[in-house]
Amino acid sequence: MNKFNFQKYSWVFVIPVFFIFSVIYFNPSFFEGKSLRQSDLVHFEGMSHTSQLEAKETGESPLWNTAMFSGMPELLFSSLKGDPTHVLFAGSMLGLQSTYENAMTVFLLMSCLWIALMCFRVNPWVGMFISVAFAMNTFYITSLEAGHMTKLWAIGYGAMVIGGMRLLFDKKWLLGVALLATSVTLEVRATHYQITYYLIFVCLIYGLSELYFFYKKGELNIFLTRVIPLGILAAGLGASTQLWKVWTTKEYSEYSIRGKKELTPLQGQESNHTEEGLDKDYAFSWSEGKMETLTLIAPNFYGGSSQENISKDGPMAAQLEKAAGKQQAKSIINNPNFKLPLYFGDQPFTGGPIYQGAILSFLFILALFILDKRERNWLIGGVLITAMFAWGKHLQWFNYSLFDILPGMNKFRTPAMSLGVTCVVMAMGAALGFDKIIKDGWNEKTQKAALNAAGVTVGLLALMWVGAGFMDVSGPRDAQIFQQMFGINDPNIIRQFTNALDAERVDMMRGDVGRSILFVLVAIAVLFAYSKKKLSMTLTVIIVGFLTLGDVWGVAKRYINDASFQKTNNKEVHTPTAADLAILRDNDPNYRVLNLTANVFNEANTSYFHKSIGGYFAAKLRRYQDLIERELPREMQTLGEAIQKGDTLAIKATPALNMLNMKYTILGADANAVYQNPNALGHAWFVDKVVKVSSPDEEIEALPSIDPSIQAIVDTNKFPNADISSSKSNGDKIELVDFHQRRIKYNSQSVKGGFGVFSEVYYPAGWIAKIDGEPVDIICANYVLRGLHIPAGTHEITFDFDPDSYVIGGTISIISGYLTLLLLVVAIGFTAYNLKKENN
């Protein structure tokens, strides 16, 4: 009887281990029915709730979201009916993604890196420990805490993309093509194109590195005729399975704030203005400081997060005791809600540091000394390019130039997230280096490499410990924080508090640097014990593995621990107020709501119950964002003041809100804190006159001066051939007959015909208007709304949202998806067959 080969069938053991670690970390979800309250997921529940109900009712993906910003495409969050790649996505999280999404996302990170490492033929047990430690990276944990799931999926699948490339470079043609096509499918399906963008640069560097080594081996012809064509075929097939997503996203980006700007910049914004894409100040707000990157090896080297607990016996505690007395200070410190912004870097705020792990960082440095050039070159290049992206505005000659030159670069913000890809490369390097020591044994070269790596790592940490005492650790808002928190106005007392806060930061920095030094020294000691044959290879892997895991696990638990979970789930957060319930009694649900009790354009709770003027989404439609920046705040202020004074004439001076059919304004939580707007214009109406303008600037500038109930604005340069004549008669009307997110039906009645305005947001890519079944052109009216010329008589008017990007792109995606699944099944079948042959 053949002995079971654990090396060959290691996945049978490793995959359950990943699941067990995921369950242990998120045990309150599995055993207590608790969940994390994740801000982005709470927002997502709010903005997608109406669409989910619509999908259940109609059986089709809504594609258009009526619940936020008066209506906008929902293509990024839509699904494709009959999408065969869903089985791959669900399989990567064991089908538990809906119930235990957080735990399964961590499981995905572990398993994807491990699969990639197996493509590099890393010892499976080394790969297992490195993969678990990799998934505990604080950047991933804090991203989970915020609910940034798609970012984490893209990072995990990205590791598999690199693994698929490796198989092609090793001439494993069938399996390489299958894995690369599958991983690209999942990578693009994750729809976090910024992470994918950074990943492409790592892949290019890896590809160029391999091109050089194929050339050195005299195999350039193989690279050019086999590797490149098969790589393009696999990547192209994988990407085509998500063509509908890529196409609709690209299409939408042209009309979003990431697309071309139409308006002349406001005074004072000229220097930051770009013709297309995001403004530089906005795009580079979250740039990682160069020195801040050292948090990869010592977590609190830049203070940790913007909301940190303080030490119970540190400088800040001493200052509190001095100012408020021992008992009061103790009460304040023991309050779990008492947190201070110990982070002092240049980013506006942060949920935590990007900590890769002291031992894992040491192993990566060791790898650079011990690996051959084939591995070392692309690892250095991958880490360097992604770190340079992360530095953003702190490396302007590089990033600002690419922002202006590279296609797509000006669509992204928060460059610091590229360090998420840096950590993938570092983890792979650490595993390759540790694996080489285990496989090659300890020799003179290993000894020299280990000493050099130890010197570099411990030397760097020692410099960080000393340097902490000389750094400027003050934050720009430190004094203001204590003024607001404790009502302190005496500048001397404020200075005492800010000095204590600085001392607290230095203590935390040195504490974590010392912690990292200790972990690294213990790991070095274990490796040297292995070199002296005091420890076996197996025991060395286990000890270093658990040390690496313990290092990152302890820091990760600072940000998500058992106390982070609660019984209330995200959906239960959306509880209607008495004001919401009063509005919901309206028999006509197709009105819009302005909630002045919330941050109107940065919250989605209102969207859970109503069609909101505001919402929560970074990439708004460009024209609606222009309306937000140039008109709506003025009208909101006018409205608020007028309601307080009971000035009905002033309330009428809100043309944009009225034409958007803003019927209700929420002023408080009580039922009587709802104002019903008598000037809301309803679903659609005929106008007496069309005001002609010749540019977008003129169009939006004319908006405050018109009465939208009788006038409409049209840019005749944009619609030179449109019939915008209008001759409204008494009794002319447009009535809403049926309303769904993708399908709207009206009946019109007019004596002479005229120009009709619809209180729905104009979007040229996909909406098709028909009058009595005959297609007609939709005209942009009043800068953001839809307009039609409607002939005399009685007519049926329909609007249908069926963009080619979804309909045609979806058909191609489904065909490609089945081809990818077939390819994967065939590749797995052949691999299993060959393994069976080897065993026999």
Residues 759 and 816 in one domain: no
CA 724 to chain centre: 42
- Tokens representing residue 321 in the block: 């005791």
pLDDT in tens, 411-426: 899 999 999 999 999 9
Give the span between the Cα atoms of 488 and 496, in whole angstroms.
11
Instruction: Outline where 632-740 has alpha helix (H).
Output: 632-645, 648-652, 655-659, 696-702
Q: How many domains does the chain have?
A: 3
Flag whether pLDDT at 722 surpasses 90: no
Which has the closest alpha carbon to 743: 767, 772, 777? 767
Q: If you average pLDDT over every residue of the chain, what do you get? A: 92
Give the residue with greater pLDDT, 575 vs 157. Answer: 157
Spatial separation of the C-alpha atoms in residues 23 and 333, rounded to whole Å: 31
Q: Scan for tokens 């004074």, then name that residue.
A: 645
- Together in a domain, 113 and 228: yes
Model pLDDT for residues 377-397, shown as the tens digit of each residue: 999 999 999 999 999 999 999
Is 479 inside a domain boundary? no
Q: Are 700 and 266 in contact (CB under 8 A)?
A: no
- Of 676, 702, 723, the residue that ends a domain is 676
Domain co-membership, 784 together with 825: no
Least-confidence region, from 297-311, 493-507, 589-603, 634-648: 634-648
**Is 82 inside any structural domain?**
yes
Nearest to 148 by CA among 111, 116, 101, 107: 101
Task: For 123-176, write each residue's pLDDT tens digit.
Answer: 999 999 999 999 999 999 999 988 899 999 999 999 999 999 999 999 999 999
**In-domain check, residue 792:** yes
In a domain, 775, yes or no: yes
In a domain, 296, yes or no: no
Contacts of 218 (CB under 8 A, 6+ apart): none
CB 797 within 8 A of CB 748: yes
Residue 661 in any domain: the answer is: yes
Per-residue model confidence (pLDDT) at position 1: 43
Smallest CA-to-CA distance from 609 within 597, 595, 596 is with 595
What is the rounded distance in angstroms from the CA atom of residue 586 to the CA atom of residue 600? 22
Pair (54, 179) in one structural domain = yes
Same domain (yes/no): 149, 77: yes
> In the prediction, which pLDDT does 770 show?
98
Radius of gyration of the chain (CA): 30
Indicate the residue type of 293. Answer: T
Residue pair 415/392 in contact (Cβ under 8 Å)? The answer is yes
At residue 726, the pLDDT reads 81
In a domain, 551, yes or no: no
As a whole number, mean pLDDT of residues 283-290 equals: 94
Backbone region of residue 85 per phi and psi (left: phi > 0; alpha: psi in -120 to 50; beta: other values): alpha
Q: State how far the alpha carbon of 589 is from the alpha carbons of 661, 736, 790, in Å.
A: 12, 12, 25
- Which of 649, 676, 703 represents a domain boundary (last residue)? 676
- Shared domain for 183 and 151, answered yes or no, is yes
CB 250 within 8 A of CB 758: no
Confidence band of 335 (pLDDT split at 50, 70, 90): confident
Domain co-membership, 714 together with 591: no
What is the DSSP secondary-structure string of 46-71? HHHHHHHHHHHHHSS---EE-SSTTS
Longest dimension (CA), the chain: 99
Instruction: Provide the residue range defining the domain that includes 200.
Output: 11-253+804-840
Residue ending a domain, among 635, 654, 676, is 676
- The reply to whether 655 and 694 lie within a common domain is no
| Per-residue pLDDT at 568 | 65
On whether both 163 and 214 belong to a single domain, the answer is yes
Does 99 reside within a domain?
A: yes
Q: Are residues 625 and 690 in the same domain?
A: no
Same domain, 699 and 592: no
Rounded CA-CA distance 509/492 in Å is 26
Report the percent of the chain where pLDDT is more than 90.
72
Average pLDDT rounded to a whole number, residues 753-757: 94
3-state secondary structure at position 572 = helix
Q: Is the pTM of this model over 0.85?
A: yes
**798-824 tens-digit pLDDT:** 999 999 999 999 999 999 999 999 999
Handedness of CA 290, 295, 298, 304 (dihedral sign): positive
In terms of domains, do 697 and 808 share one? no
